[in-house]
Amino acid sequence: MYKFAHISDIHLGPLPRLSLRELASKRITGFVNWHRNRRKHLLVNTLDLLLSDLRLKEPDHLMVTGDLVNLATKIEIRLAGEWLRSIGEPLETTVVPGNHDAYVPGAHDKSVREWYPFIAGDQSPTDWPDGEHVFPTYRRRGPIAIIGCSTSVATPPFAASGYFSARQARETVNLLRQAKDDGLFRVVLIHHPPIRGAASQHKRMIGIRRFAAALSLGGAELVLHGHTHLNTLYHLKTHQGDVPVVGIASASQGPGGHKPPAAYNLFSLTGEPGAWHLVCDRYGLTPDAQGISLQQRRLLYGNEAAILLDIAPALPST
């Protein structure tokens, strides 16, 4: 059995002290939003509690689908790098960036450079390739291929959309086909949900059709995303069958907000091509915010019912 975990939307806090120069940009809107809303519900203690429970499950690999920071300041990006190094080795953790990691022009490259050991594909240059395309990335771990895609781009104030380019789509097809030839279970990581209507208009993914076409041509078994701060399961229809698309709540979300509390998904994979068996267990913050418990179990691949066990009232899941 191979186990891999998924967390997203870390939003490491608290915010550092910002200079007037840093605030003279889109960051001013995020700064206000943090102090009015996010700081009340995105809690470091919640994140630590979640990660402590996750470690007890001993996953073989951890996948992080973006938004490690809030305003993508230099100090935030550096501290996020230190946080990544504290939770696991680069070979055991894969990261793709989110829109907050590219909050202002230039921030995307700074984030990728700082976190590059956790992003780089198996055949990528050892050092961050300045001026070259990094995504999509390809990592082979046990029976799975991890294809990392990026929708991380700077956007105007009050927008949080992502962009999936034609170049990235073409290269993703090639990597998906390579993984199929290698007999691997293909997991695609992306920050924005590649499903129409899953995010509001100003937070949508531009290039959804291109992404769907890439999966139709290349094939995939699973897509993991963040961005919405919701526990969701969609299915993306492709020419090669329906692909589960799974989202997860923010790993820092405390109780009492309008989004579900922090959670992570733990996937258990067995089988072989054409006969995969994949169970998704969702663990989340308990109502008293003092612990983490199993909330839902789904069979995503196999020959049993779609939901094996549902031991708690379902959070948004469809």
Residues 6 or more apart from 30 whose CB is under 8 A from it? 70, 71, 100, 103
Are the C-beta atoms of 33 and 4 separated by less than 8 Å? no
- The answer to the question of residue 314 being in a domain is no
Are the C-beta atoms of 214 and 169 separated by less than 8 Å? yes
Q: What is the mean pLDDT of residues 278-303?
A: 94
Token pair of 254 as six digits: 């405390």
- The answer to the question of residue 129 being in a domain is yes
- The answer to the question of residue 295 being in a domain is yes
- The answer to the question of residue 210 being in a domain is yes
pLDDT at residue 22 above 50? yes
CATH of the domain at 278: 3.60.21.10
**Of 216, 207, 119, the residue nearest 165 (C-alpha):** 207
- The answer to the question of residue 116 being in a domain is yes
Mapping DSSP to helix (H, G, I), strand (E, B) and coil, where does residue 289 land?
Answer: coil
pLDDT digits (tens, 9 = 90+) for 104-130: 889 999 999 999 999 999 998 888 887
Question: What pTM, to 2 d.p., does this model score?
Answer: 0.89
- The answer to the question of residue 293 being in a domain is yes
pLDDT of res. 110: 94
pLDDT digits (tens, 9 = 90+) for 200-258: 999 999 999 999 999 999 999 999 999 999 999 999 999 988 999 999 999 999 887 78
- The answer to the question of residue 208 being in a domain is yes
Q: Which domain holds residue 119?
A: 2-309
Backbone torsions φ then ψ of 135, nearest 5 degrees: -100, 150
Instruction: Estimate to the nearest angstrom the gap between the alpha carbon of 242 and the chain centroid.
Output: 20
State how many domains the chain has.
Answer: 1
Cα separation values, 269 from 60, 142, 273, 280, 317, Å: 11, 10, 11, 9, 21
- The answer to the question of residue 224 being in a domain is yes
